[in-house]
Amino acid sequence: MKATVYVTIKQNVLDVQGTAVQGALHSMGFEEVGKVRIGKYLELELGTTDKAEAEARVKAMCEKLLANTVIEDYRYELA
Amino acid sequence: MNFAVLVFPGSNCDIDCYKAIEDTIGQPVDYVWHTADDLSKYDCILVPGGFSYGDYLRCGAIAQFTNVMKAVVKAAEEGKYILGICNGFQVLTEARLLPGALLRNNGMKFRCHQAVLKVENNTTPFTRDYAEGELINIPIAHGEGNYYCDDATLKELQENNQIVFRYEAGNNPNGSVDDIAGICNKAGNVVGMMPHPERAIHELLGSADGKKMFTSILSTWREKHGAAAIR
């Protein structure tokens, strides 16, 4: 089973990378771009076929290491 | 008084911390590798700056799960003195020994220069030789030193006098909330800061204002343990 994890800076926390990229896009003429958010994309190969077990384990991984929940949100997909 | 300077793969201010202890207070100091699991012989633990584990994933995120950090958590609970500087501060927040987190600097730049700090709390074991409100000149060198915590945590920090250093008003280099440059835990024995006092121990380095961090900790320890051997 494979987990895809997305980690993003919380909406109410300044995303400096996103702001820099937004500025660059505007200066290139893409003025239609509103807020830009940049996050992390992780692919995890899991040695299990049990979806419930995988879900619990991935959630624990996110809470403990992959995201810092003080400043970041996370979501994941299992396939 | 025995000092430990932790060394993670990627630490690069460990030698500066070691030398700062030697040169300012002349106490026994050891480098302690990240795989060590026993810190019982040390009275004070310094978590140095650098890029532990390459700062992959997030600054300080991977270092928090090392053997030595488990020993640091235990030492903190025992009331031992712990100082995290720059990446060390990031490691202490990731390990939840200090609240909040460090974000990228809001000006998008790595900032590397002298900064004027105001000593807000001179009752911690690391700041007692400073005067309250004293302005000191300590270098900063960070790209991710923008201290962040939510409003409730900030209120708690303010009410418990846990803000140890602030950047001089109008000169916040990274956008940290409430101009915070350094904080301590509720008990006061764990201090974390982005500026580098170990790089400010001699006028030749541009400032000697960091010296008192180290003399403070020795005088605190001596007061608690009676006369200690000094060189």
**CATH number of the domain within which A32 lies:** 3.30.1280.10
A interface mutation test: which of B69, B150, B151, B174 has the most A CBs within 10 A?
Answer: B150
Catalytically annotated residue among B44, B86, B149, B184: B86
In total, how many domains does chain A have? 1
Asked if B101's CB is within 8 angstroms of A68's CB, the reply is yes
B96 in contact with chain A, both atoms CB, cutoff 8 A: no
Give residue B50's pLDDT: 97
Residues of chain B in contact with residue A65, where contact means CB-CB under 8 angstroms, are 57, 61-62, 65
pLDDT at B17 over 80: yes
Cα separation of A22 and A18, whole Å?
A: 6
Asked if B65's CB is within 8 angstroms of A65's CB, the reply is yes
Q: Band the pLDDT of B227: cuts 50, 70, 90.
A: low
Residues of chain A in contact with residue B100, where contact means CB-CB under 8 angstroms, are 70
pLDDT at B105 over 50: yes
Q: Name the percent of chain B lying above pLDDT 70.
A: 98
Average pLDDT over residues A55-62: 97
The structure's pTM equals: 0.94
pLDDT at B231 over 60: no
Cα separation of B119 and B62, whole Å?
A: 31
Does the annotation mark B86 as catalytic? Answer: yes
Query: Using alpha carbons only, how large is chain A's radius of gyration in Å?
Result: 16
Asked if B103's CB is within 8 angstroms of A16's CB, the reply is yes
Structural domain that includes position A25 = 2-78
Does the annotation mark B202 as catalytic? Answer: no
Average pLDDT over residues B151-161: 98
pLDDT at A5 over 60: yes
Give residue B58's pLDDT: 95
pLDDT at B146 over 50: yes
Structure tokens at A2: 């494979």
- C-alpha angle B185/A8/B11, rounded to 5°? 50
Is B29 in a helix, a strand, or coil? strand
Residues of chain A in contact with residue B154, where contact means CB-CB under 8 angstroms, are none
Cα separation of B63 and B172, whole Å?
A: 28
State the Cα torsion B87-B165-B176-B104 to the nearest 10°.
Answer: -10
Start-to-end Cα distance in chain A: 6
Q: Band the pLDDT of B226: cuts 50, 70, 90.
A: confident
Average pLDDT over residues B16-33: 97
Pairing of strands B44-47, B3-7: parallel
Is B8 in a helix, a strand, or coil? coil
pLDDT digits 0-9 by tens, B57-91: 999 999 999 999 999 999 999 999 999 999 999 99
